[in-house]
Amino acid sequence: MSIRDKTIGFIGLGAMGGGMARNCVEKGFDLLVHDIRPEPVERLVAAGARAASGLREIAETCAEIVTVLPTGREVEEIVMGSGGLFDHAAPGTLVMDLSTIEPETTDTLHETARARGFRAIDAPIGRLAWHAERGESLFMVGGEKADFDEVEPLLAAMGTTIHYCGPGGSGTRTKLVNNFLAIASCQLNAEALALAKRFDLDLETTLEVIHGTTATNGQLKVNWPNKVLAGDTEPGFTIDLAHKDLSLILGAANSSRVPVPVGAAAREAFTLARSRGYGGQDFSAMADVLCDSAQIARARLGEK
C-alpha cells in the first residue's frame, strides 16, 4: 500500500497548513483534518477532506500524521502530552511536524517517539503563505532517511523544493539559520530604504543599482516588490511571527554559545514594531515602521 492509499492525519489549518492540506486533497490524498477553529475545517471538508472528531480519532486512524502548529508548546501538548497523539497511536505511527519551534523541543519529539515505538520527522516550511496556497512551499527535513523516503510524496504534494538535511533536528536547525538571514535582512532593507527616502532618491533607480550589485537580497528583490513596496502589508508572514522566530534563533544561538549581535539588534527592532501596533502586518512592513519613525514618506514603487 502506498502513502497515497492511506488516510493522512493533518492537524493545524492556519495560514500555512490550510493551503498545504488543500493541495494534498487536490492531489489525491485522503485527509482526516483537525483544527481548534471550525472554519478552516469546514473549508477543507468542502474541498474533499474529512473532519476528525478530535486528536484521538486521528491517532487511532492514521499511520502518518502531519502537524503545523504555532509553537513548541502546542507540539508538546498535542503530540506528546497527556491524551495526545502518542497516547492513542499504534506502534510505528509517523508524526511529521512542520512547525518552526525550539531545537530542544524537536529533539524531545524524536527521542520520545523512539522511546515509545513511534517515528518522527521535522520538516519546517520555507517560503510564505501564498507559496503554501499554490503548492510551492520548500521543506527542510530531518529524520531517518527511510522515513523521509516514505513521506516525500506527501511533501511533494505541498511543495516544489524538498531538502533532506540529515538526522532528526536537522530540519529545524536549518530553518532557524535560513530565517535568521531572511528576517534580519528585512531590518537592514528597511533602514536602507528609509535612508534612500530621506536622501530623496528615486526608488526605482536605487533598487536597480542595488540589484546589480552584491548588496541585493531575496527579500528586497523577490518579496518586497509584491508586498510593502506595492503598498500591500497584508500578512504572508507577520512581524509577530518574525519576532517569535528571532527569539527562537537567539535562544538556540545562546544555547550553542554562538554570538549573534545583529540578530539581537534585529529582534529589538521587531519588538519596537510590535509595541507600536505593527505586529499583525507582513514582516516587509518593517520598511513602513522605519519610515514612519523617521517621519518620511513610505517607500513605494511607482510613487514620487
Can you give the pLDDT at residue 32? 98
Torsion angle, alpha carbons of 76, 82, 86, 89, to 10:
-140
Q: Are 61 and 54 in contact (CB under 8 A)?
A: no
Reported as a single tens digit per residue, the pLDDT across 183-195 is: 999 999 999 999 9
Q: Which stretches of the chain are DSSP H helices?
A: 17-26, 38-47, 55-61, 72-75, 85-88, 103-116, 129-133, 145-158, 170-198, 203-211, 218, 239-255, 261-275, 286-294
Q: How would residue 5 be classed by pLDDT, with cut points 50, 70 and 90?
A: low
- CATH class as words, domain 3-167: alpha beta
Query: How many percent of the chain have pLDDT more than 70?
Result: 98
- Average pLDDT of the chain, as a whole number: 96
Can you give the pLDDT at residue 129? 86
Tell the CATH topology of 174-294: N-(1-d-carboxylethyl)-l-norvaline Dehydrogenase; domain 2 (1.10.1040)
Q: Where along the chain do its domains lie?
A: 3-167, 174-294
Q: Which residues contact 40 (CB under 8 A, 6 or more apart)?
A: 13, 14, 17, 18
Whether the predicted pLDDT of 24 surpasses 60? yes
Residues with catalytic annotation? 175
The rounded distance, in Å, linking the Cα atoms of 50 and 41 is: 8
As a whole number, mean pLDDT of residues 218-238 equals 94
Reported as a single tens digit per residue, the pLDDT across 34-71 is: 999 999 999 999 999 999 999 999 999 999 999 999 99
